[in-house]
Chains A and B, each alone.
Chain A
């Protein structure tokens, strides 16, 4: 049969934004697929060179609009390292809690979009969004915004948790835990879902390491690597949690890793809420005049919902001199061609969904 070349995207229901794929298809088999990126490039790395330090977080949040808090945090952490700002104990705890809540929200959204990619008519999508909304309301309570929080300040947060936040958070966590259990049953007992994910998009351990994928995709390929565990920041070292690793290397194992991570995050937040010390988590005011940077060159590595993100910054006194981001989605996208080789046309979208791409993150 002749090979036909089809163009998927940049506007397509399953590319989660503006990813363009050019796929060569032989009958129903994908021979090769080539991603074209850059439709959402906003030049953030350059933009921040002309902004004061604390003017930049909003730009960062828009990189990953599914998990803005984590980008907010990684940038502020880089600046803190450059300026030598110390965090109070409570601030470290509250940041950990917020990051994990953000991870839960992000993974829930992924669960919805993934099952939509598999052709489940929006049911799981709506349910996951409904539950994610409960988590977002918690984040809203803390930051005042639902999507782009801009909630980090040097040395802490904009404001401390409201009184009673613990109880509300625990209630939401219980709700999400119940729901996730239900969704697991819904998906794992449905032979169609299993069939669509099992042995689809296999990425072997060696290949995963070679291609440099990160996060759940890496752990779904059997590599035990999680920045939170292997290079702990904030209070992750003090908290009790397991890295979720699966060695089946297919879409199903990536699904399982993410669902289990929701569970682990719930446990993490519960524990952190329990042992969080009293004190103040409030950071410095934004308009602080910043003295000369302590460390001129800093690098911060964080485990984001999508994988390991690394921010490299050369610091000037008032603004970043140069900043570079190693984005998790970008690294994961690199594995698409390898995974999609030889799969069926329908599988291509299952694989794409299992990567959990955010195009803002890919294009920066």
Chain B
């Protein structure tokens, strides 16, 4: 698909005044969903990890510490935005809003329910994946431009990691596309119907994709770019409070996107009995986020060279094997 097609497809929703209003209301709804998920996830992550670690987590602000994150947001946003002297100011200031915009835009491309759809690009999964790999590059620019050595090490790691996980994820995506006959989210959801989840048809692919996604989202054990016990805060070392808040928001939005994509590609998307479709999709996305939290709480951080080896020696062959098996069994 060329860029022109893509722009055209994106403009379809904004054709005409009523289309414009619809697009706007869709965007607002999704934005609300993002904020709600990020907030809920931020709280759940703190609480779940606290429970695993035999702590309580936030308890003081609001019931069950529900308002703790709000307090943190207020704190982060009310602080001064400072640019370090060594930083290249324009890049340093621009990168974070750009990342934020990109992450929100990507969530807009994901369908939430038969009634809550963005533009159907026909190959949404592919587009999301290609654009998602821009994020580490932006983090790279952000880290390098801050002029801090820890940041630049984190940034280099972030960019290097791309090589490890991008390929296996793409190969698994290819087998999903082959099974569904399309890279469009709608086609993939329809192909899985109610119970024919791709997670069951190709469990190997699901596992590889989950691991690759952990790396793609730069969640532990693959959080080398932040690596708080090594690089202080990695690419965010010199970032001031408001931008740190933005970075958190971007990360959580990316988590949301990653969980949604996994839920759609492997867990049948919104298909499910009784509950409305959107509830099913969000439930599945939450289940995946929960798994990601558990992984964070229980494992150590990998090393960069080990991740590269894991990607090329384990994930990629497994992904190709998965592709071959898929072709042999389902594609006769």
Contact = CB atoms under 8 A, between A and B. Distances in A.
Interface of A: 4, 6-7, 12-14, 25, 28, 115-123, 125-127, 130, 186, 190, 192-193, 195-196, 344-349
B53 A122 contact: yes
Interface string B215-228: 00000110110011
Contacts of B190: none
Contacts of B297: 121, 123
Given A126-B55, A195-B303, A345-B153, A121 B49 contact: yes
B152 to A, nearest CB: 8
Nearest to A347: B303
Contacts of B313: none
Nearest to B301: A119
A119 B220 contact: yes
B300 A119 contact: yes
B303 A346 contact: yes
Q: What are the 6 tightest A-B residue pairs by CB atom distance, in nearest-first order?
A: A119-B301, A126-B53, A118-B300, A120-B300, A14-B229, A6-B149
Contacts of B81: none
Contacts of A123: 49, 52-53, 297-298
B300 A190 contact: yes
B221 A119 contact: yes
Nearest to B50: A126
Nearest to A11: B232
Contacts of A193: 299-300
A130 B229 contact: no
A120 B228 CA distance: 10
Interface string B35-63: 00000000000000100111100000000
B230 A349 contact: yes
Contact of B54 (A121, A127, A344): A127
A3 to B, nearest CB: 12
Given A126-B55, A345-B230, A346-B227, A190 B303 contact: no
Contacts of A127: 53-54
B304 A344 contact: yes
28 contacts: A6-B150, A7-B149, A13-B228, A13-B229, A25-B153, A28-B157, A115-B300, A120-B301, A121-B220, A121-B296, A122-B53, A123-B52, A123-B53, A123-B297, A126-B54, A127-B53, A127-B54, A130-B54, A190-B299, A192-B299, A193-B299, A196-B302, A344-B303, A346-B227, A346-B230, A346-B304, A347-B303, A348-B230
Contacts of A6: 149-150, 153
B259 to A, nearest CB: 19
Which residue among B52, B53, B149, B229 has the maximum number of chain A CB atoms within 10 Å of its CB?
B229
Given A119-B230, A126-B54, 4 more contacts: A6-B150, A121-B220, A196-B302, A349-B230
B72 interface: no
Contacts of B54: 126-127, 130
B301 A118 contact: yes
A13 B306 CA distance: 23
Interface residues of B, number: 30
Contacts of A130: 54
Nearest to A122: B53
Given A6-B149, A126-B54, A196 B303 contact: yes
Nearest to B49: A121
Which residue among B49, B230, B300 has the maximum number of chain A CB atoms within 10 Å of its CB?
B300
Contacts of B296: 121
Contacts of A14: 229-230
Nearest to B149: A6
Contact of A349 (B52, B224, B229): B229
B86 to A, nearest CB: 14
A195 B229 CA distance: 17
Contacts of A347: 303
Contacts of A4: 149
Contacts of A120: 298-301
A112 to B, nearest CB: 11
A192 B300 contact: yes
A135 to B, nearest CB: 16
Contacts of B229: 13-14, 116-119, 349
Contacts of B223: 119
A347 B305 CA distance: 11
Nearest to A131: B54
A12 B232 contact: yes
Contacts of B302: 192, 195-196
A286 B175 CA distance: 79
Interface string B311-323: 0000000000000
Which residue among B52, B53, B296 has the maximum number of chain A CB atoms within 10 Å of its CB?
B53
Interface in B203-244: 220-221, 223-224, 227-230, 232
Contacts of A115: 300
A85 to B, nearest CB: 44
Contact of A28 (B232, B300, B304): B304
Nearest to B304: A28
Which residue among B149, B303, B306 has the maximum number of chain A CB atoms within 10 Å of its CB?
B303
B219 to A, nearest CB: 10
B226 to A, nearest CB: 10
A125 to B, nearest CB: 8
A308 B130 CA distance: 57
B206 to A, nearest CB: 20
Contacts of A349: 229-230
Nearest to B55: A126
B35 to A, nearest CB: 25
A361 B297 CA distance: 32
